[in-house]
Amino acid sequence: MRNHILTSAIALAAALSSPALARPMTEVDLATLNRVAAPAASPDGRWVAFQMTETAQGSYKRSTGLWLVDRNAKNAAPVRVADVPEKNESAPAFHPDGNLYFLSNASGKSQIWRVDPKVGGGAAQVTDTKADVSGFKISPDGTKLLAWGDIARECTEFGCDAQDKGELPGPGTGRHYKNDVGFVRHWDSWETPGTYSRPFVFNLDGGKATTPRAVDAGLTGDSPSKPFGGGEELAWGADSRTVFFTLRKADKDEPRSTNLDIYSWLVDSRMMPVNLTADNQATDTLPTPSPDGKWLAYAAMARPGYEADRQVLMLRNLASGETKKLTEAWDRSVGSIAWAPDGKALYVTAQDVLDHPVFRVNVNSGKVEKLKATTEQWEGNVNDVTPLPGGALLYSRNSVAVPTDLWTRDAKGKVTRLTDVNRAQLSDIDPVKVDRLKFAGANGETVWGQIVKPVNSAGKLPVAFLVHGGPQGSFGNSWSTRWNPRLFSAPGYAAVSIDFHGSTGYGQAFTDSINRDWGGKPLEDLQLGLAAAGKQDAAIDTANACALGGSYGGYMMNWIAGNWPDGFKCLVNHAGVFDLRAMAFETEETWFDEWDHGGPWWERTDAEKWNPVNHVTKWKTPMLVIHGEKDFRIPYSQSLAAFHALQRQGVEGELLVFPDENHWILKGQNSVQWYQTVFGWMGKHLKK
């Protein structure tokens, strides 16, 4: 699979010119579509490198490689670069000299390599460390590398033979944790005491990395933060001597804290890292230094313990230390930050109603302007925004209808598509129609949703009623490799989703409104939303519907079972909370549970009000229950309890458990099994 050459643009066009019968999208399509990520531009903006993951038909074996496209060439097709069969290459980054650096496991470990993309040929290994390299950044002058990986705290180099990792010796396999530890397990992994995600600086000498020095001297914690932090949490200063990094302090209070801080460290000085955000006990992240080195932009939350608080764009004068809230008056949460080359503006992304567009923020005034384009290919879900010379932008984009590809927007707003990596496969699949839904929800407030259905569908369509997780999230205009509305519509359903109270993209007050109200306004919105969808589209049969949800959406399936028992023909509950009391004591990141429900269990004023287990005797709707055994966010025992409740009361139910998955279903063959099981369940209970 990895050895073939990308079909040329001419050959591809010829193949697509042959007529073909369209067909419904399948779960195999979703699992095997190519996945584009991590675009990087050369210093002159001509070359764009990106990683693409391919999945083999049948075996579902995945491999990731690097591709390169020349922006100056007419109708240029991406070509492979630095490809080693049976190995993976990822995370491309251009050196100032034009060489392409990247991660590869070609040596048996994850290390940094480099190649001259204009010459091609074999790649050269840059690092050779005992620990795997998880990520890296090149200094602006090209003389240093900032790299990070999981390394024992006592290691002074990038990995060592340290034996003492905090575990007590003994003859058995038991893990032994003392009372002063924080996380015992996190997301899907048991913690190894004393090992953290740690950044190091290397010198670059002749294309080789030498002399590793720890950046986090005197600090104990993860940088980047776990489980989802990455390169966006670390940055080089313009002087190539200063490193900015986000660190999550590791101590016994960590499971209850959302306090991330941004530090600066002067490379090769004897000074300790300086905490730039010590006064804020909530999240500070996304450090982004200005091109002239005078300013540090970053995002900050205001309320400790709240992971879904609004992220305000901050601007710090690095000389004086003076900080101002640049977007305090803008009721949106900043998701990414990039400086314009002239330093006069910042480009940020943010959820906005059902889209995730890019905005330009004036550095002096704080004025926020949503960028426009000369085509419609600007809405949807925009990410990976990279300013290019001449005022252009490189970015990735997807929507509820199409997966991710790369685009550019010039200074005048003209949009150009750089990649179309799934063109052949998508051209053979039935298109979908996407409509937006707007109605008066709980408290008479405006609520939005979407209806996705096959084009040219006939007759009344059964409904796949999708409820998003989070709960502070959105089923917006974006592509998902897990919960995919386009795929849910493929068997002849109308996939309907509602951004209920608590969703993101509608202002912070709307997001906050779900606090201590999990079963209140959101359920009312879902009931009103389903009715509004049926009223807006007469082809939707709202009386012939199955509701499906994961995480909080799974909680809502348990809640619906007891509080809307006549609403649906069937339910699908993936990793849902069944008993809030057990959840409060079993989940790992307790800040989330305690913020949303009013503190630890014994301090809640009405702890049982929204607990699904209290309504279990009213259950009668058939329910499919799904969970991953490696899920530590919502332990799989919650789904075992729900399934047992179905069995014990004689309610029709099925249980699907994945021993090798966490809170999400990520592996190709498991995704196919997941959808096959879900579609089989829906087909059994819904009339076509």
- 631-679: pLDDT as tens digits: 999 999 999 999 999 999 999 999 999 999 999 999 999 999 999 999 9
In three-state form (DSSP H/G/I as H, E/B as E, the rest C), the secondary structure along 595-631 is HHHCCCHHHCCCCCCCCHHHHHHHCCCCEEEEEECCC
pLDDT of residue 55: 97
Average pLDDT in the chain: 94
Q: CA separation (Å) from 624 to 89, 327, 483, 629?
A: 38, 44, 16, 16
Distance from C-alpha of 191 to C-alpha of 227, rounded to nearest angstrom: 11
Sorting pLDDT into bands at 50, 70 and 90, what band is 456? confident
Least confident segment among 72-76, 237-241, 481-485 = 72-76
Whole-number pLDDT of residue 388: 97
- Quick: pLDDT tens for 3-50: 333 333 323 333 333 334 589 999 999 999 999 999 999 999 999 999
Q: Average pLDDT in the 194-205 region? A: 96
**Where is pLDDT greater, at 533 or 75?**
533
* Tokens 């003492």 found at: 164
C-beta separation of 501 from 470 below 8 A: no
Backbone angles phi, psi at 572, to 5 degrees: -125, 115
Backbone φ and ψ of 617, nearest 5°: -70, -10
Q: Which residues participate in catalysis according to the annotation?
A: 551, 631, 663
Whether the per-residue pLDDT at 289 is higher than 90: the answer is yes
Give residue-wise pLDDT tens across range 549-595. 999 999 999 999 999 999 999 999 999 999 999 999 999 999 999 99
Question: Rounded distance, CA 232 to CA 343, Å?
Answer: 19
Long-range contacts of 109-113 (CB under 8 A, 24+ apart): 110/134, 110/149, 112/136, 112/145, 112/147, 112/209, 113/82, 113/89
Residues with Cβ within 8 Å of residue 473, at least 6 apart in sequence: 503, 504, 552
User: pLDDT grade, residue 203 (50/70/90)?
Assistant: very high
How much is the pTM?
0.94
Mean pLDDT within 357-367: 97
Confidence at residue 76, expressed as pLDDT on a 0 to 100 scale: 82
User: In the predicted model, is pLDDT for residue 87 greater than 50?
Assistant: yes
Phi, psi at residue 613, to the nearest 5°? -60, -25
Which residues, listed in sequence order, are joined to residue 196 by a DSSP beta bridge?
151
Question: By percentage, how much of the chain surpasses pLDDT 70?
Answer: 95
Give pLDDT, residue 10. Answer: 27
Confidence of residue 172 (pLDDT cuts 50, 70, 90): confident
Rounded average pLDDT over 266-285? 96
pLDDT at 121: 73
Task: Give the length of the chain.
Answer: 688
- Sheet containing strand 393-398, edge to edge, reads 381-387, 393-398, 405-409, 415-417
- Predicted pLDDT of residue 1: 36
- For residue 169, the model assigns a pLDDT of 56
Closest CA to 670 of 16, 11, 28, 21: 28
Token pair in block for residue 17: 């010119």
What pLDDT does residue 458 have?
Answer: 87
* Range 311-319 average pLDDT: 98
pLDDT digits (tens, 9 = 90+) for 321-332: 999 999 999 999
Reduced to 3 states (helix: H, G, I; strand: E, B; else coil), residue 305 is coil
* Rounded distance between C-alpha atoms, residue 64 and residue 55, angstroms: 9
Distances (CA, A) of 151 to 222, 248, 323, 512: 10, 15, 33, 37
C-alpha span between 528 and 538 (Å, rounded): 16
Please tell me the predicted confidence (pLDDT) of residue 163. Answer: 54
CB 286 within 8 A of CB 215: no
Q: Mean per-residue pLDDT for 518-532? A: 98
What's residue 180's pLDDT?
86
pLDDT, residue 112, reads: 98
Q: What is the pLDDT of residue 688?
A: 80
Q: Under a CB-based contact definition with an 8 Å cutoff, are residues 345 and 363 in contact?
A: yes
The answer to whether 398 and 381 have CB atoms below 8 angstroms apart is yes
Distance CA 263, CA 579 (A): 40
